[in-house]
């Protein structure tokens, strides 16, 4: 421990100029960012571009400091001065990790909490979001730390990180359009973070213990390759067996016997139904009259997804899990155009699975609109500089689960004689991006919100995950898709 603290003090003294600049960037951002928020005096000015520049410079500064920190006792080669000193590799690694946490991560946390306090938000209001953000901040330096451990220069470490980012962006761009329309299997993100984060930590420990750089580099490249392969395959649901097993485990069959899916085979449902155009990627969409019955009307569905199998003589198709909207008219499903041609003029057997999270309402809370007013989980201010007065709500780390907001609004300017009509909005779940912690969401109620108006906030909380199954022995999809398939 004494040796680790000695190295830690030495690193602080040696990197004092870089740390001063880094802390300065964080302080400036904590002062500038609030001036660029909506409703602030300088919103929409060039100061916003300066704020974006600062948010880009801070990660670069962190990368440079980590590279300098590791290269002070470089692990590449065998002729460094420090290897002749009685340094234990465990003490050396502990000192470097202590420096990253105390001098790099904690100042970012302090800056983020400063932004939350300036927005009138309590950093401790959402403990799960706070812990998730702290874990993310602790893991972000892992990549530049690993890159610096297997390189001998700051430029080499920067190029390695840049190469990783470029490949990551390329892979996401290649599969993003298709994977974005598919359900992310449960546990995948957390499992990948633990698995590949553990692999990187293992490689780092191996490099510090043995300083076998060539093997560490090979292991690093192999880990990156495995990450991209498994990430893309699970996102694209190429591993159908494991993906289905995860989904069925996470979404057990509903225990409420009143809840069920029903299929309306009446001809009146599809008579006069308009044909639809070919969707992106060669998929055709059709409205299948499947309805959810027995569901508690006070509850809400969250993150509903569906998958179905389709069988005709000599042909079988299994769809990936895709997000779906459960509407009064039915479910919109997608099928490849070539699959439609295979089942044309044939009755098909369809087995449909629907999974979703059930949200139950909390006790409604009534708030009175003012220039600044508190709401469940956040705070709002009234933007009077817009054509219609619009409340802008701010939350810490992310906006809460879907919240229904009701109140009276007017289409005219606010005065005592202005007629009002009911307004309603559903707030979305928006996570904070990057090092930002304040989430802003305008409250669009369909009219002018006047001071003194009472708004009812109905927040929902997760109750359970459930799955419903439906078997349709024979259905002619031609009835539900009238476009020309030739």
For residue range 324-380, what is the model confidence (pLDDT) as tens digits?
888 888 888 888 888 888 887 788 899 999 999 999 998 899 999 888 888 888 888
Q: What is the DSSP letter of 79?
A: -
Instruction: Report the sign of the C-alpha dihedral through residues 193, 195, 199, 205, in that order.
Output: positive
Contact 359, 300 (CB under 8 A): yes
pLDDT, position 468: 94
pLDDT at 473 over 70: yes
Parallel/antiparallel/unpaired status of strands 365-368 and 454-476: antiparallel
Q: How far apart are CA 437 and CA 111, in angstroms?
A: 10
Average per-residue pLDDT for the chain: 82
Question: Is residue 337 within 8 Å of 485, Cβ to Cβ?
Answer: yes
Distance of CA 455 to the CA centre of its chain: 29
Instruction: Give dist(CA 112, CA 109) in Å, integer.
Output: 5
CA distance 325 to 330: 9
DSSP category for residue 36 = G
Is the full-model pTM beyond 0.95?
no
pLDDT (average), residues 35-53: 76
For residue 468, the cross-strand partners are 354
435 neighbors 381 (Cβ within 8 angstroms): no
Greater confidence (246 vs 85) lies with: 246
Q: Is the CB of residue 232 less than 8 Å from the CB of residue 184?
A: no
Contacts of 362 (CB under 8 A, 6+ apart): 376, 458, 459, 460, 461
Q: Which of 54-58, 109-113, 121-125, 385-389 has the lowest mean pLDDT?
A: 385-389
Average pLDDT over residues 97-113: 90
Would you say 355 and 369 are in contact if contact means Cβ atoms under 8 Å apart?
A: no
Q: What pLDDT band is residue 483 in, cutting at 50, 70 and 90? A: very low
Are 440 and 432 a contacting pair, CB within 8 Å? no
| pLDDT score at 12 | 92
The domains located in the chain, with CATH, are 2-244 (no CATH), 251-361+465-480 (2.60.40), 370-452 (no CATH)
DSSP 34: G
Residues 275-318: tens digit of each pLDDT: 444 455 677 778 888 999 989 888 888 889 999 999 888 889 98
Residue with the larger pLDDT of the pair 395 and 268:
395
Averaged over 385-407, what is the pLDDT?
78
């Amino acid at each position: 421990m004494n040796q680790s603290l000695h190295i830690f003090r030495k690193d602080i003294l040696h990197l004092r100029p870089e740390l001063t600049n880094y802390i300065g960037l964080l302080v400036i951002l904590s002062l500038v960012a609030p001036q660029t928020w909506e409703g602030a005096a300088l919103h929409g000015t060039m100061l916003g571009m300066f704020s974006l520049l600062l948010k880009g410079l801070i990660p670069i500064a962190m990368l440079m400091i980590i590279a300098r920190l590791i290269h002070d006792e470089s692990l590449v080669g065998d002729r460094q001065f420090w290897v002749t000193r009685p340094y234990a590799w465990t003490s050396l690694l502990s000192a470097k990790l202590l420096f990253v946490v105390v001098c790099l991560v904690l100042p970012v946390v302090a800056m983020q909490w400063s932004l939350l306090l300036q927005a009138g938000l309590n950093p401790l209001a959402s403990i799960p979001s706070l812990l998730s953000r702290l874990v993310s901040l602790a893991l972000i330096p892992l990549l530049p730390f690993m890159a610096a451990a297997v390189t001998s220069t700051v430029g080499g470490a920067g190029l390695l990180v840049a190469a990783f980012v470029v490949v990551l962006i390329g892979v996401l761009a290649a599969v993003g359009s298709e994977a974005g329309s598919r359900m992310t299997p449960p546990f995948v993100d957390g499992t990948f973070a633990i698995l590949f984060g553990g692999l990187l930590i293992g490689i780092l420990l191996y490099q510090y213990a043995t300083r076998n750089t060539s093997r560490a580099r090979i292991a690093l490249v192999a880990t990156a390759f495995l990450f991209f392969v498994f990430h893309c395959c699970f996102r694209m649901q190429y591993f159908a067996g494991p993906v289905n097993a995860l989904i069925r485990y996470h979404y057990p069959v509903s225990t409420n016997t009143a809840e069920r899916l029903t299929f309306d085979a009446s001809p009146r449902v599809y008579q006069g139904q308009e044909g639809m155009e070919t969707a992106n990627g060669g998929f055709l969409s059709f409205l299948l009259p499947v309805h959810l019955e027995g569901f508690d009307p006070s509850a809400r569905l969250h993150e509903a997804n569906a998958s179905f199998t389709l069988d005709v003589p000599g042909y079988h198709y299994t769809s990936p899990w895709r997000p779906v909207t459960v509407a009064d008219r039915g479910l919109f499903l997608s099928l490849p155009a070539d699959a439609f041609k295979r089942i044309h003029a044939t009755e098909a057997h369809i087995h449909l699975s629907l999974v979703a999270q059930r949200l139950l309402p909390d006790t409604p809370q009534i708030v009175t609109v003012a220039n600044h007013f508190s709401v469940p989980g956040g705070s709002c201010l009234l933007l009077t500089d817009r054509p219609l007065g619009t409340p802008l709500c701010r939350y810490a780390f992310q906006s809460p689960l879907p919240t229904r907001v009701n109140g009276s609004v007017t289409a005219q300017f606010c005065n005592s004689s202005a007629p009002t009509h009911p307004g309603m909005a559903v707030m979305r779940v928006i996570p904070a991006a990057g090092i930002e912690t304040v989430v802003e969401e305008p409250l669009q109620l369909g009219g002018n919100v006047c001071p003194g108006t009472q708004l009812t906030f109905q927040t929902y909380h997760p109750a359970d995950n459930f799955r419903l199954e439906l078997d349709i022995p024979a259905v002619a999809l031609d009835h539900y898709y009238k476009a020309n398939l030739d």
